[in-house]
């Protein structure tokens, strides 16, 4: 029987799908994005106009749906939408990647190339899927969107797998559970990972899937009643705290229940943690951790926690960026309940993974959020793996798959204490984790009573004993062996000490050479030499001279360059471009930024009074009309206006070490008033830390006091040390820096 096609109805559906997509992506669009998406849509409609899916639907439904998933469920923007709309065009038409590049640019073309399958004949024993997967992964080092669009493509294919023949269902489902679900998990796409796993079970074990789904449905009413009663006291207590929050009760995924039944060999009725309750807080980033622990405290006030089931991924996020506090508590009916406590931001990252992480990272420029996360270090490892890969595609895919699961390694000390390390950690990482001296003297290890070198990679369950020698000391090669930040910093510290000894010789050589040239070793001369030889610090410069990296005779060239500059006359700076042009003449290195603290008569700059920047602050320079360059903190109240209205006058600036100078900073102190408090505060500032105060004012309101102090500090480190000392004064509750 021939199917009657209602072309008008289908066209209406295509237009509706397109409009929905545009509504979703509109907040992220800028420039000619709308025009480009429209062009991509028209190109895709034309390319697939004669094509239909196995379900009988027009093929164009698929690319539009993939683009919709990219926006709604992964959080990607216009470039990904364009690439998703076009992802099958090269494969299904005469259009080539170079044609895509002409119309949509290099970025989109590169993504499409990564998504286009390899055609041709494959050798016996090789796998087309593995070859395609390897090809797609090769673009990971350039653009992670290739993988994210591929996951969206796979999710839509799995959602519409009903119309496929059974053999195709099994093939596609197996690929999904083998590669795409773990990949989604590794990229922090938990919602997609869970759905892919459930769909895998739906098509590979339909009876099991239906059975578990029915049992979950049957227990829904009693489960909801139980959740309501369980949450009642928590809800009441949370309302009293004033938190903005939402609570979700959700059953475990069908796949995870099935996994438990299989692994633990138990019946559905015996699974005690069939569902989890999620408390999601709407709280500012800097208060997140405290808020999560406050809620934990409230939950455990009413229900006894299982100490073995506490998972704190708020203090130490998982290596795929996942953050949450999980506690399993005993309910009044004798059932264990898992409570997940997280914030809106954490929930977004848990649902949308890597894309949400970078969205939040971009919007939080403060250092507290801008740490390197596990997801980034994992991507760096994958890129490295891709660059060094050889052998067959199947081997490569298997290695890659193993890498997806390798997040953390659990090992033991000789006394049986558990230590957790990132995947790839070595015996040397373990040694530094025990103690920096043990790490520095490490010559090898005994792993499970077997002698191994310091480069031995740790495996789950290893018991490690470190072997040391007083004659051993760290060298540069050790930095290639370790992966933990503790080991890296301790090795660098040790190398720095060794460097200092060489630098002492270097300093003597420089002093002799400057004497010959009738120059004194002033900070101005040193600053010029550092800039001329592109050295970050005096130590780096002296070290290079000491080990022969810089020939002392080259110092004469610096003096000649300095004389030439002095004869050149005053600089004229109107904007960032003229600054960059002139600074190149002055220094020649770091040429696009101003070094604050470098004594350069030719460049006139002052510190802005609106935000009082001090060394260690993130800063920028602003070229004023009459007052030269003003240095502002990036967090200055005026920064947004200056950057958005006068972008052409913004210049890059960074601090040089200027310990002998003092900078004005303001501190606000709040706490409970008591006799002698002001005396204690001023003693810490003036006597203990020998800091000069310019002014101090304290207001008291009944038992609460607030004080404002203006004082002189060297840099942010100095200020932080002062703040931590003041916070220890009895009665002081909070110490904050403020803009004047």
What is the rounded CA–CA span in Å between residue 415 and residue 417? 6
pLDDT at 589: 47
The answer as to whether 395 is a domain residue is no
pLDDT at 374: 53
Q: What CATH code is carried by the domain that includes residue 314?
A: 3.30.460.10
Name the domain boundary from 537, 566, 595. 566
pLDDT at 124: 38
At 509, phi and psi to the nearest 5?
-60, -45
Residue 535 lies in domain: 493-566
What is the rounded CA–CA span in Å between residue 250 and residue 399? 34
The answer as to whether 288 is a domain residue is yes
pLDDT at 653: 75
Q: What CATH code is carried by the domain that includes residue 718?
A: 3.30.70.260
> Please, is 433 exposed, middle or buried when counting C-beta atoms within 10 Å of its C-beta (0-12, 13-18, 19+)?
buried
Radius of gyration (C-alpha) of the chain in whole angstroms? 31
Q: What CATH code is carried by the domain that includes residue 160?
A: 1.10.3210.10
Q: Where is pLDDT greater, at 303 or 47?
A: 303
DSSP of 618-659: -EEEEE-SSS-EEEEETT-TTHHHHHHH-GGGEEEEEE---T
* CA dihedral for 107, 109, 110, 111, sign (positive or negative): positive
The answer as to whether 389 is a domain residue is no
Q: Is 699 a catalytic residue?
A: no
What is the rounded CA–CA span in Å between residue 395 and residue 400? 8
Query: In the predicted model, is pLDDT for residue 569 greater than 50?
Result: yes
Query: In the predicted model, is pLDDT for residue 398 greater than 90?
Result: no
Query: In the predicted model, is pLDDT for residue 599 greater than 70?
Result: no
Q: Which of 129-143, 148-162, 318-332, 617-631 has the lowest mean pLDDT?
A: 129-143
pLDDT at 732: 85
Q: Where is pLDDT greater, at 679 or 464?
A: 464
Query: In the predicted model, is pLDDT for residue 227 greater than 80?
Result: yes
Q: Tell me the pLDDT of the chain averaged across its residues.
A: 78
What contacts 514, CB < 8 A, 6 or more positions away?
Answer: 520, 521, 525, 555
Q: Where is pLDDT greater, at 125 or 555?
A: 555
β-pairing verdict for 605-607 and 629-633: parallel
Confidence of residue 159 (pLDDT cuts 50, 70, 90): very high
**56 and 195 share a domain?**
yes
What is the rounded CA–CA span in Å between residue 87 and residue 663? 56
Sheet holding 732-738, edge to edge: 693-701, 704-713, 663-672, 732-738
Three-class secondary structure of residue 517 per DSSP: coil
Query: In the predicted model, is pLDDT for residue 721 greater than 80?
Result: yes
pLDDT at 366: 42
**517 and 593 share a domain?**
no
Give the residue-averaged pLDDT of 434-463.
Answer: 90
Give the tens place of pLDDT for each residue, 180-193: 888 888 777 888 98
What is the rounded CA–CA span in Å between residue 703 and residue 705? 7
Q: Where is pLDDT greater, at 731 or 626?
A: 731
Query: In the predicted model, is pLDDT for residue 268 greater than 80?
Result: no
What is the rounded CA–CA span in Å between residue 189 and residue 375? 12
What is the distance of C-alpha 55 from the center of its chain?
A: 41
What is the rounded CA–CA span in Å between residue 709 and residue 686? 12
User: Which residue matches tokens 């939080």?
Assistant: 364
Give the tens place of pLDDT for each residue, 320-377: 677 889 998 888 888 888 899 999 888 888 776 666 655 555 555 444 444 445 556 5
Q: Where is pLDDT greater, at 505 or 716?
A: 505
Going through 162-308 in order, the beta strands assigned E by DSSP cover: 245-251, 275-281, 304-305
At 175, phi and psi to the nearest 5?
-60, -40
pLDDT at 455: 92
Name the domain boundary from 614, 638, 655. 655
281 within 8 A of 248, measured Cβ to Cβ:
no
**70 and 122 share a domain?**
yes
pLDDT at 644: 44
Q: Is 92 a catalytic residue?
A: yes
**433 and 450 share a domain?**
yes
* 511-516, Cβ contacts within 8 angstroms, sequence gap of 24 or more: 512/552, 513/552, 513/553, 513/555, 514/555
CB atoms under 10 Å from CB of 587, counted, come to: 24
pLDDT at 567: 61
**101 and 29 share a domain?**
yes
Tokens representing residue 311 in the block: 């998972």
CB atoms under 10 Å from CB of 603, counted, come to: 19
What is the rounded CA–CA span in Å between residue 194 and residue 253? 7
pLDDT at 587: 53
Give the residue-averaged pLDDT of 161-173.
Answer: 78
Give the residue-averaged pLDDT of 115-143.
Answer: 56
What is the rounded CA–CA span in Å between residue 663 and residue 653? 17
The answer as to whether 390 is a domain residue is no
What contacts 58, CB < 8 A, 6 or more positions away?
Answer: 10, 14, 48, 51, 52
519 within 8 A of 532, measured Cβ to Cβ:
no
Give the tens place of pLDDT for each residue, 236-264: 888 888 888 888 877 788 888 888 887 77
Give the residue-averaged pLDDT of 65-75.
Answer: 88
pLDDT at 421: 80
What is the distance of C-alpha 281 from the center of its chain?
A: 21
**139 and 244 share a domain?**
no
**112 and 185 share a domain?**
yes
pLDDT at 439: 93
Name the domain boundary from 176, 204, 232. 204
| Residue whose C-alpha is closest to residue 400's, from 389, 408, 411 | 389
**175 and 138 share a domain?**
yes
Confidence of residue 592 (pLDDT cuts 50, 70, 90): low
Residues paired with 409 in a beta bridge: 421
**283 and 347 share a domain?**
yes
User: Which residue matches tokens 């190339």?
Assistant: 113
For the chain, what percent of residues have pLDDT higher than 70?
A: 77
The answer as to whether 379 is a domain residue is no
Determine which helix (DSSP H) or strand (DSSP E) holds 190, and give its type and residue range: helix 190-204
Give the tens place of pLDDT for each residue, 525-541: 887 787 677 676 788 88
Give the residue-averaged pLDDT of 114-140.
Answer: 56
**99 and 125 share a domain?**
yes
| Residue whose C-alpha is closest to residue 691's, from 668, 673, 665 | 665
What contacts 273, CB < 8 A, 6 or more positions away?
Answer: 252, 328, 336, 337, 338
What contacts 716, CB < 8 A, 6 or more positions away?
Answer: 614, 615, 616, 617
**109 and 236 share a domain?**
no
The answer as to whether 712 is a domain residue is yes
Q: Which of 348-352, 379-383, 427-431, 633-637 has the lowest mean pLDDT?
A: 379-383
How many domains, in total, are found in the chain? 6
The answer as to whether 225 is a domain residue is yes
What is the rounded CA–CA span in Å between residue 573 and residue 580? 9
Give the residue-averaged pLDDT of 625-650.
Answer: 66
Choice among 46, 91, 142, 286 that is catalytic: 91
pLDDT at 431: 94
517 within 8 A of 552, measured Cβ to Cβ:
no
What contacts 306, CB < 8 A, 6 or more positions away?
Answer: 327, 328, 329, 330, 336
Of 160-174, 266-280, 392-406, 509-523, which one has max mean pLDDT? 509-523
Choice among 46, 92, 162, 627 that is catalytic: 92
For the chain, what percent of residues have pLDDT higher than 90?
A: 10
Give the residue-averaged pLDDT of 11-33.
Answer: 87
**17 and 67 share a domain?**
yes
The answer as to whether 538 is a domain residue is yes
| Residue whose C-alpha is closest to residue 185's, from 401, 458, 346 | 401
Query: In the predicted model, is pLDDT for residue 78 greater than 50?
Result: yes
What is the rounded CA–CA span in Å between residue 47 and residue 93? 6
Give the residue-averaged pLDDT of 32-44.
Answer: 87
User: Which residue matches tokens 């916070």?
Assistant: 727
Give the residue-averaged pLDDT of 42-50.
Answer: 84
């Amino acid at each position: 029987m021939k199917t009657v096609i209602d072309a008008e109805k289908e066209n209406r559906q295509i237009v509706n799908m397109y409009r929905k997509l545009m509504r979703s992506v509109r907040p992220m669009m800028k420039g000619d994005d709308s025009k480009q998406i429209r062009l991509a849509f028209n190109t895709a409609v034309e390319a697939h106009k004669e094509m239909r899916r196995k379900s009988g639907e027009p093929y164009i439904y698929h690319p539009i749906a993939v683009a919709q998933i990219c926006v709604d469920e992964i959080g990607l923007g216009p470039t990904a939408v364009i690439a998703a709309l076009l992802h099958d065009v090269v494969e299904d038409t005469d259009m080539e990647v170079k044609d895509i590049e002409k119309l949509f640019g290099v970025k989109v073309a590169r993504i499409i190339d990564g998504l286009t399958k390899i055609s041709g004949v494959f050798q016996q024993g090789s796998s087309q899927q593995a070859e395609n997967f390897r090809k797609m992964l090769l673009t990971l080092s350039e653009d992670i969107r290739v993988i994210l669009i591929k996951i969206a493509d796979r999710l839509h294919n799995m959602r519409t797998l009903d119309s496929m023949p059974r053999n195709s269902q099994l093939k596609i489902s197996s690929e999904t559970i083998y590669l795409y679900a773990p990949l989604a998990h590794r990229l922090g796409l938990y919602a997609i990972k869970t759905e892919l796993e459930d769909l895998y079970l739906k098509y590979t074990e339909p009876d099991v899937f239906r059975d578990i789904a029915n049992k979950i449905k049957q227990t829904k009413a009693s489960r909801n009643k139980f959740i309501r009663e369980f949450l009642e006291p928590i809800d009441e207590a949370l309302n009293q705290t004033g938190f903005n929050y939402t609570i979700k009760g959700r059953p475990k995924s069908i796949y995870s229940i099935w996994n438990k039944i299989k692994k633990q060999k138990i019946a559905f009725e015996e699974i005690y943690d069939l569902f989890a309750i999620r408390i999601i807080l709407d709280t500012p980033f800097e208060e997140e951790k405290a808020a999560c622990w406050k809620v934990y405290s409230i939950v455990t006030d009413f229900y006894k926690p299982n100490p073995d089931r506490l998972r704190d991924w708020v203090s130490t996020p998982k290596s795929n960026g996942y953050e949450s506090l999980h506690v399993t508590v005993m309910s009044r009916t004798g059932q264990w309940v898992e409570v997940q406590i997280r914030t809106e931001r954490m929930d977004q990252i848990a649902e949308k993974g890597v894309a949400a992480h970078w969205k939040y990272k971009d919007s939080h420029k403060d250092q507290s959020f801008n740490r390197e996360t596990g997801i980034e270090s994992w991507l760096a490892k994958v890129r490295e793996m891709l660059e060094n890969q050889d052998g067959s595609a199947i081997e490569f895919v298997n290695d890659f798959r193993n890498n997806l699961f390798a997040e953390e390694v659990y090992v033991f000390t000789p006394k049986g204490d558990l230590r957790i390390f990132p995947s790839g950690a070595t015996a040397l990482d373990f040694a530094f984790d025990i103690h920096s001296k043990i790490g520095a003297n490490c010559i090898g290890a005994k792993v499970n009573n077997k002698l191994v070198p310091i480069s031995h990679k740790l495996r789950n369950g290893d018991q490690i004993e470190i072997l040391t020698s007083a004659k051993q000391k760290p060298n540069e090669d050790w930095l290639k062996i370790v992966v933990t930040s503790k080991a890296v910093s301790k090795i660098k510290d040790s190398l720095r000490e060794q460097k200092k000894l060489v630098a002492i010789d270097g300093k003597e050589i420089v002093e002799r050479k400057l004497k010959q040239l009738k120059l004194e070793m002033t900070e101005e001369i040193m600053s010029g030499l550092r800039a001329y030889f592109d050295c970050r610090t005096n130590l780096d410069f002296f070290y290079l001279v000491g080990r022969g990296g810089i020939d002392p005779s080259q110092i004469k060239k610096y003096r000649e360059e300095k004389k030439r500059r002095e004869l050149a006359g005053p600089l004229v700076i109107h904007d960032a471009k003229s600054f960059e042009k002139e600074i190149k003449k002055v220094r020649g290195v770091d040429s696009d930024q101003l070094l604050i603290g470098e004594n350069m008569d030719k460049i006139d700059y002052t510190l802005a009074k609106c935000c009082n920047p001090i060394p260690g602050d993130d800063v920028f320079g602003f070229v004023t009309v009459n007052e030269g360059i003003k240095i502002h903190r990036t967090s200055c109240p005026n920064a947004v206006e200056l950057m958005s209205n006068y972008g052409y006058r913004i210049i890059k600036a960074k601090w040089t070490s200027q310990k002998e100078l003092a900078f004005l900073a303001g501190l606000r102190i709040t706490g409970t008033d008591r006799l002698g408090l002001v005396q204690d505060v001023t003693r810490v500032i003036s006597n203990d830390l020998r800091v000069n105060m310019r002014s101090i004012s304290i207001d008291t309101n009944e038992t609460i006091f607030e004080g404002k102090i203006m004082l002189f500090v060297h840099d942010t480190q100095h200020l932080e040390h002062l703040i931590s000392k003041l916070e220890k004064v009895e009665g002081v509750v909070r110490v904050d820096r403020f803009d004047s």
